[in-house]
Amino acid sequence: MTGRAYAEQPFEAPEPWRGFLWLSLRECHRVLRLWTQTTLAPIVSSLLFIIVFGLSLGGRISEIHGYPYEIFIVPGLIAMAMAQAVYSNNASTIFQARNDRYIDDVLAAPMYAWQMNLGFNVGGYFRALMIGGALTALAAPLTGAPIERPLYLLVVVPLLLVGFGALGTIVGIYAHTFDHIQFVNNIVILPLTFLGGVFYSVENLGAPWEEASHANPLFYVVSALRYGFLADADVSPWLSAAVLAVIASVLVVWAQYLFSTGRRLKP
Amino acid sequence: MAEAALSIRGLAKRYDDGTLALGGLDLEVPAGSFFGLLGPNGAGKTTLISAVCNLLRPTGGEIRVFGLPNSSLAARRMIGIAEQEPNLDRFLTVRETLIYHGGYYGMTRAESARRADEMIDVFDLRAKADVRAPKLSGGQKRRLLLARALLHEPRLVILDEPTAGVDLELRHELWRYIRRLHEQGTTIVLTTHYLEEAEALCEEIALISGGRIVARDTADGLKRRYEAQTLEEVYLKTVATGRLAAAREEEVPA
Ligand SMILES: Nc1ncnc2c1ncn2[C@@H]1O[C@H](COP(=O)(O)OP(=O)(O)OP(=O)(O)O)[C@@H](O)[C@H]1O
Ligand SMILES: [Mg+2]
């Protein structure tokens, strides 16, 4: 302890950027500490899909849009794995922090509300990018899946991460139990991604299911990633990107509203 | 320093379930003072403290910390809080808990690590430095909570029942340490249910009941005013009867 009286010291200038970086670091630290659960498990399960559906059944299914089946399903599986990872990571980290109240250490800290919001999301981005990167690296040699439009991916992958990350934040803030978080994943994200055309082209469905699929927001997520990898999709890549951008914006505004007002985060 | 460490005007809080915890509370804590907040369970002490630390959405009123709005970054930087309920990050070890806390408060890694080691020694947590929070005993959690509150060298330290559940040795150790901080100019706000602790430590005491300050003075001043021999007697005459004496409000000097 210094002998100098605190009252004589100059005020410490707040360094909100540093706080934000430490919070981001904390979130990545959490992901790495639980890496078998957070990263390895989703990679293994997506690879199983590729191997079981693609490589073993793929030979019996004719090409879709000119691509062998095992290649056709890769982008959708990567989209699904990343969306689920960022969603469940952010929902559970916020939920745990609220539940144990250690979120107070962040809520009281000298940071802006948007920095708290973003900081809690960084772990999910990190986790989803690790999964997406690993799956891409493994699927390419296994199936020969190309990356035709890397720049397009650089736009839509961040939109996917931000959108589903914000969804996780919102659910983590509203959830009363852990089951609520699982529920949204199992009843909303998972089925809608399957129905969004991970395993088939919605064109093959015929009316009215093809039209109905266009009302499914996850259809655009799958289409966007498929366009990025295969330069081919059921809808215009710009429409997919626009839908992703709108979804991400709405959810980010909602999540930020919760952080700015402290609604449900503070009594 | 002319500015009060803490200046609260008309602070009100009604919880979402309708409970009125604070009804227009005013309080001024001078800079550099050692201030005790006493009152029965449910009086509103924790609610008051949470509001100061931006952990609550007040329904009315204004709070200033050294003249700055309590939600400003500069005000937040100056406050250190140890909450009543231990709330430790379950993914972090003792040392990490302290270092990350320093980081959230804007300290560099080196600065934060240095302070963390200092606090680990002060609070006798050396043997547990690499143990994660859920594996600590109740008293060890309390020590870590205090270490975390003090880590970033706040000017205003707020301790909500810091000595609940700690052993005698730490209690005395803690008293000594907090006294030294106070001598160095830190403002301390403390809540406790141990009246002898309040009497031994605090220069000024506010008694809170039903979400209002019902009396405020030095321990001796309170005893004189209420013609009491001990602080306990004052407590019994004011807040303990506060529940049945809402009607006697006028007689109680505020
Ligand atoms: N989250 C909450 N929702 C609803 N009511 C609450 C909540 N937190 C506290 N209260 C109520 O507000 C009142 C004041 O509570 P508070 O925790 O501030 O008391 P306290 O003085 O700290 O008591 P104690 O000495 O027991 O810690 C109580 O009536 C309590 O039931
Ligand atoms: Mg309390």
Is residue B163 very low, low, confident or very high in pLDDT (cuts 50, 70, 90)?
confident
Res B145 pLDDT > 80: yes
pLDDT tens digits, A4-43: 444 445 566 778 899 999 999 999 999 998 888 888 999 9
pLDDT at B249: 47
pLDDT at B254: 44
Contact list, B32 vs chain A (CB under 8 Å): 7
Would you state the structure tokens that stand for residue A76, as one six-digit string?
């959708």
Asked if the Cβ–Cβ distance from A18 to B15 is below 8 Å, we say no
pLDDT tens digits, A100-150: 999 999 999 999 999 999 999 999 999 999 999 999 999 888 888 888 898
- Measured in angstroms, how far is the CA atom of residue A75 from the centroid of ligand 2? 53
Determine if residue B94 is left, alpha or beta; phi over 0 gives left, psi from -120 to 50 gives alpha, anything else beta. Answer: alpha
pLDDT tens digits, B167-208: 888 888 888 888 999 999 899 999 988 888 888 889 899 989
pLDDT at A191: 87
Q: Ligand 1: list residues with CB < 6 Å.
A: A 267; B 15, 17, 19, 21, 39, 41-47, 84
Is the CB of A11 inside 8 Å of chain B's CB atoms? yes
Would you state the structure tokens that stand for residue B206, as one six-digit string?
């506010």
Cα dist from B141 to A101, B121, B164, B180, whole Å: 14, 15, 11, 22
pLDDT at B252: 47
Interface A:B, Cβ pairs < 8 A: 125
Mean pLDDT of all residues belonging to chain B: 88
Res B66 pLDDT > 70: yes
pLDDT at B2: 57
Look at ligand 1, atom 8, and give the residue with the nearest C-alpha: B47
Q: Is the model more confident about A85 or about B223?
A: A85
DSSP A63: P
Res B105 pLDDT > 50: yes
Contact list, B18 vs chain A (CB under 8 Å): none
Where exactly are the structural domains of chain A? 16-261
Ligand 1 atom nearest to CA at B40: 25
DSSP B105: T
Would you state the structure tokens that stand for residue B104, as one six-digit string?
């959230």
pLDDT at A199: 78
Domains contained in chain B, CATH given: 1-78+158-254 (3.40.50.300), 88-153 (no CATH)
Looking up tokens 């997919």 gives A240
Is residue B127 very low, low, confident or very high in pLDDT (cuts 50, 70, 90)?
very high
* Residue percentage of chain A with pLDDT more than 70: 95
Res B245 pLDDT > 50: no
Cα dist from A59 to A53, A135, B34, B75, whole Å: 10, 21, 79, 66
Is residue B233 very low, low, confident or very high in pLDDT (cuts 50, 70, 90)?
confident
CA distance A120 to chain B (A): 12
Q: Is the model more confident about B102 or about B210?
A: B102
pLDDT at A129: 96
**Contact assessment for residue B39 and residue B47, using Cβ atoms and an 8 Å cutoff:** no
Using DSSP's 3-state secondary structure scheme, residue A163 falls into helix
Residues 6+ apart with CB under 8 A from B243: B40, B209, B210
Is residue B241 very low, low, confident or very high in pLDDT (cuts 50, 70, 90)?
low
pLDDT at B250: 45
Asked if the Cβ–Cβ distance from A6 to B107 is below 8 Å, we say no
* Mean of pLDDT values over B98-121: 94
| C-alpha span between A228 and B178 (Å, rounded) | 60
* Mean of pLDDT values over B80-101: 94
Lay out the sheet containing B60-65: strands in order across. Answer: B20-29, B6-14, B60-65, B68-69
Residues 6+ apart with CB under 8 A from B156: B5, B6, B65, B66, B78, B79, B80, B186, B187, B189
Look at ligand 1, atom 17, and give the residue with the nearest C-alpha: B46
Is residue B237 very low, low, confident or very high in pLDDT (cuts 50, 70, 90)?
confident
As a whole number of Å, the end-to-end CA separation of chain B is 26
- Measured in angstroms, how far is the CA atom of residue B98 from the centroid of ligand 2? 24
**Contact assessment for residue A174 and residue A255, using Cβ atoms and an 8 Å cutoff:** no
* Mean of pLDDT values over A147-157: 92
* Mean of pLDDT values over B126-150: 92
Q: Nearest by CB to B83, from A13, A33, A104: name it.
A: A104
pLDDT at A264: 92
Is residue A67 very low, low, confident or very high in pLDDT (cuts 50, 70, 90)?
confident
- Measured in angstroms, how far is the CA atom of residue A173 from the centroid of ligand 1? 22
**Of the given ranges (A11-15, A44-48, A219-223, B219-223), which has the lowest mean pLDDT?**
A11-15
pLDDT at A3: 41
B28 bridge partner residues: B7
CA distance B117 to chain A (A): 12
**DSSP assignment of A83-146:** HHHHHHHHHHHHHHHHHSSTHHHHHTSSS-HHHHHHHHHHHHHHHHHHHHHHHHHHHHHHH---
Report chain B's C-alpha Rg in angstroms. Answer: 18
pLDDT at A196: 80
